[in-house]
A and B are shown apart, each in its own frame.
Chain A
Amino acid sequence: MKRRLTIFLIIAVFVVIIGGVRYLWRAGSGTKKSYNFDLIVKSTNMDYWKTVNEGALAAASAYNATVKYKGPPTEENCKQQISILKESVAERPDAVILAASDYNLLAEPVQDAIDAGIPVLMIDSNVKNTNTIGYVGTDNIKLGNMLAQQLCGHIGKTSGTVGITSFVKESWPAVRREAGFRSGMELHPEFKILKTVYGGSDIEKTEYLTSRMVLANPGLSAVAALNAQSATGAARALNKLGRNDIQLYAIDCTPEEAMYMEKGIIKIALLQNPYQMGYYSVETACNYLRGKKVSGRNTDIYTVNVNTLFDDKYEQLIFPFKS
């Protein structure tokens, strides 16, 4: 009996030691632990999101993390993004980095992910949910505001009509950029602002809507385009109509937009820094998981015109490496 008790005690001590060592090992290696993140973007095929991914990967190598690049192939596919988010949650990454396709529709799936114990960090486009880690990306109100300033500063006219081409009407960045733009334009009441047209991030649709806007408003002197597709569509429309007199002020600059800028159609473009966005998002998520207090972070905004288009600093943001 006594012998049996002794053996039991020895086994118990052994188990406790192994458990303790394992626990300590895990705790001790916590600083070196590698995190797995799922980066869910709006559209995996777009250069913008590819650049976000590159930034995220650069941060991942610095922070010893791995990043999985996910998302629907096209931006409007909100339902598909929700199901991708759900799949991601089932795979239990350490955190999900999400650019929400829709401010409202993604709120519940994001809450579901948080309830399942997976923290969610928002990038580029926020969601109607305050339980996320935070938001990393461009300050969209400031971006809209800056666009208004640039427009008023470079238009060279004291009055005129200004059109806005936006993308998805209800989308969070569209709402905020437009709000920022309109509040910036309020300082210059001499400019009349037309009703915003929404091209749904569809270049052809934006082109069509812009053409109609131009034809319907003969006195139109400038157009503010609130994202890359809106700007491209508007630029194509103005190019086809041969209306070099209408200045286009754009947010984001793709190689095609660069071409239109060189042609003089796009006057000013405001650049976001998707690379930085990706980098900061992984950095923020790592810091959050390591128990540091984190908050959102705004990424840089650059202003380019035709003369600075090929500056080293902006070249890579506008013309991504193709492989």
Chain B
Amino acid sequence: MFHKNSLCVIMAAVTVGLSLIAVIAITLIVYHHADSAINFSIEQNNAQIVRNVSDSIDSYIEEMVSVSDTVTDLLSRHSAAEMNRSLIVFLRKDIETIVVFDDNGKPVVTADSRSLRKDINITEQSWYVSAGTTDKRYIISPPHVERLYSGEYPWVITLTKNVTWTQDLQKHQGIMIIDMNFTHIKDLCTRGGSDNGYLYIKDLQNDIVYHPKQQMIYAGIMPEEISRISDLKSGSAVVPASSGKLSVFAEPLSNADWVVTGVSPMDGLATYESGPGLYVVLAILALALMVLFGSIILSRAIIKPIYNLMSLMEHIHIENSTEAASPCELYEADQLGKSFNGMVERIRQLMVQVRTEQEQLRRSELKALNAQINPHFLYNTLDSVVWLAENDDKDSVVKIVMALSKYFRLSLSGARDFIPVEDELQQVEKYLLIQKMRFKDVFVYHIECADNVRKAKTLKVTLQPIVENAIVHGIGTMDEGGKIWISAYGSGECLELSVKDNGCGIKPDVLAHILECNPSTRTGIGIKNVHQRIQLACGPQYGLHVESRLDEGTTVTVRLPLNF
């Protein structure tokens, strides 16, 4: 049933193949869409985080700027001595200190009562130096460790501003610093980064202000993406990295010359650790198996009636009229079965018709044969009669005419095809008698019949053509001493009629084809006719059997069923 080109296999292969292609195509499309959707949301998320963080940092700086403005304003209205150590109201958790230095680096106004370290030269501090050279309203320093107070080393970013104030009717110039706790900004950057991404801050010269992996950068281990995204000043970009793509979003701060940059890996669906992939593959496999079983069941439903029909066609006996394709639930197979049944029925009818026609043909051939024999035979016999009468052989004339009349009486047995064996033998005897007289006793004959077959039926004109052959071709050429034995006997279920002569025999090449129905050989037409008539009437196991040896003789055995 599972041949490689059987319907079952083809259907299973095609359905499974097609459905797999369809499912995989759909899965890939959906996967791709989901992947890009997730990547899009990663980009959006990254951008959002960067905006939030930069807004927060901006607003921190904004606050510092406004604090510095307030202090500047206060300075313009109050004396520095008045204000010294009274700025504590401005200090908050995120503002470490506020100090105003004069142009010699001497502290003029401090925020609280903590005393500044004396061992540090303020004018050498980087923020002091850079404030003196700028024309900007204020400067934001990179994060650094502040060491204005003994034993305190906070991480701060410093807002530095040039300020002027009047004291003792003199105009003074100096620098105000506000130290803002950097840990808050650092926490913002840490907290703001998404699961795998991170935020870093650079300045407009692409120098890193803060990077969560700053230690590694100092140790020479640069995150590979840093060099690739260094030029991005604002907006988003997708940067290739060894482990896939990275979404990068940069947002410049409005209050400082810094750029907050967010880096987030765009892993798409792979962002979700276990991934839906395994379940997709399992679902596809399960579907493929379901389709496979479904198609096998379906093709079996189709193939079973077809297979039944196929084996019926292979083994059907047309003669056995009970065999037919059984009705089937499947419409197409049912129709096929019905057509087949109709065809078989038609073949059966045709076979019956052919058989009838053949029988009619044989019968008409027999008639033709009889019609041929009789005039010829009658002419020869009458010729012999005339010849005997001329020689005044009265007894012989009487004998031959009696035999002739008996012969014809026996052949007038009406339309019956079958006659008793004794009648057939009697007719042959009359024929032999006439021929013997004609051929002037060149041969003798002997007829014997078993008692139990005397009444058995035989086909009309069975022996006469055989005997005629024996006389004409067997012993006709001999000068004298020809013998013909005719016998009838039962052999098991068969009636056997045997004609034996001691004539010249038949050549083997002729003998081999003597019973074949070949219209091109006109010899022995009578024998063939007998053989065919018997087979047609009684079946293929019956008929003639010819044995012959050159110069020794020929035996023709006719086998017929014993009981008709």
Contacts and interface: CB of A to CB of B under 8 A. Distances in A.
B517 interface: no
Residue among B147, B155, B215 with the most chain A CB within 10 A? B215
Contacts of B216: 55, 58, 275-276, 279
Interface string B462-473: 000000000000
Interface string B203-215: 0000000001111
B155 A319 contact: yes
A310 interface: yes
B144 interface: yes
Interface in A20-62: 21-22, 25, 29, 32, 34, 51, 54-55, 58, 61-62
Contacts of B293: 10
B198 interface: yes
Interface stretch (B276-284, B319-327, B332-340, B550-558): B276-284
Interface in B213-271: 213-216, 218-219, 221, 223, 270
Nearest to A258: B153
B375 interface: no
Nearest to B125: A310
A14 interface: yes
Interface in A285-323: 300, 310, 312-313, 315-319, 321-323
Contacts of B186: 321, 323
A262 interface: yes
B285 A17 contact: yes
A259 to B, nearest CB: 5
B209 to A, nearest CB: 10
A61 B214 contact: no
Contacts of A275: 215-216, 219
Contacts of B275: 29
Contacts of B282: 18, 21
A76 interface: no
B289 interface: yes
Given A34-B273, A58-B212, A276-B216, A21 B285 contact: yes
| Dominant secondary structure at the A interface | helix
Contacts, number: 77
A202 interface: no
Contacts of A61: 196, 198
B119 to A, nearest CB: 7
Interface residues on A, range: 35 or more
B213 A18 contact: no
A21 B151 contact: no
Residue among B212, B218, B221 with the most chain A CB within 10 A? B218
Contacts of B144: 310, 315
Given A61-B196, A262-B119, A21 B278 contact: yes
A32 B145 CA distance: 39
B557 to A, nearest CB: 55
A256 B151 contact: yes
Interface string A237-270: 0000000000000000001101100100000000
B150 interface: yes
A273 interface: yes
B380 interface: no
B455 to A, nearest CB: 62
B187 interface: yes
B183 interface: yes
Contacts of A259: 150-151, 153
A18 B216 CA distance: 44
Interface string B63-100: 00000000000000000000000000000000000000
A256 B152 CA distance: 9
Contacts of B277: 25
Interface in B159-202: 182-183, 186-187, 196, 198
Interface string B133-159: 000000000001101001101110000
Interface in A101-138: none
Contacts of A17: 285
A83 to B, nearest CB: 31
B219 A62 contact: no
B219 A273 contact: yes
Contacts of B218: 312-313, 316
Interface string B283-297: 001000100010000
Contact of B153 (A21, A58, A255): A255
Nearest to B278: A25
Contacts of A21: 278, 281-282, 285
A276 B219 contact: yes
A276 B215 contact: yes
A21 to B, nearest CB: 6
Contacts of A319: 145, 153, 155
A61 B193 CA distance: 11
A32 B270 contact: yes
B183 A25 contact: no
Interface in A55-94: 55, 58, 61-62, 64
Nearest to A255: B153
Nearest to A26: B278
A319 B154 CA distance: 8
A17 B213 CA distance: 45
Contacts of A321: 155, 182-183, 186
A259 B154 CA distance: 13
Contacts of A262: 119, 147
Given A62-B223, A258-B153, A273-B219, A25 B281 contact: yes
Contacts of A64: 196
A29 B273 CA distance: 10
Contacts of B182: 321
Interface string A1-23: 00000000010001001100110
A273 B278 contact: no
Contact of B145 (A29, A54, A315): A315
Nearest to A311: B218
8 contacts: A17-B285, A25-B277, A32-B270, A276-B216, A279-B215, A279-B221, A313-B218, A316-B218
Given A10-B289, A276-B215, A323-B187, 16 more contacts: A17-B285, A18-B282, A21-B281, A54-B215, A58-B212, A61-B198, A255-B151, A279-B221, A300-B219, A310-B144, A315-B145, A317-B215, A319-B155, A321-B155, A322-B154, A323-B183
8 tightest Cβ-Cβ pairs between the two chains A and B: A275-B215, A255-B153, A319-B145, A319-B153, A58-B213, A276-B219, A313-B218, A25-B278
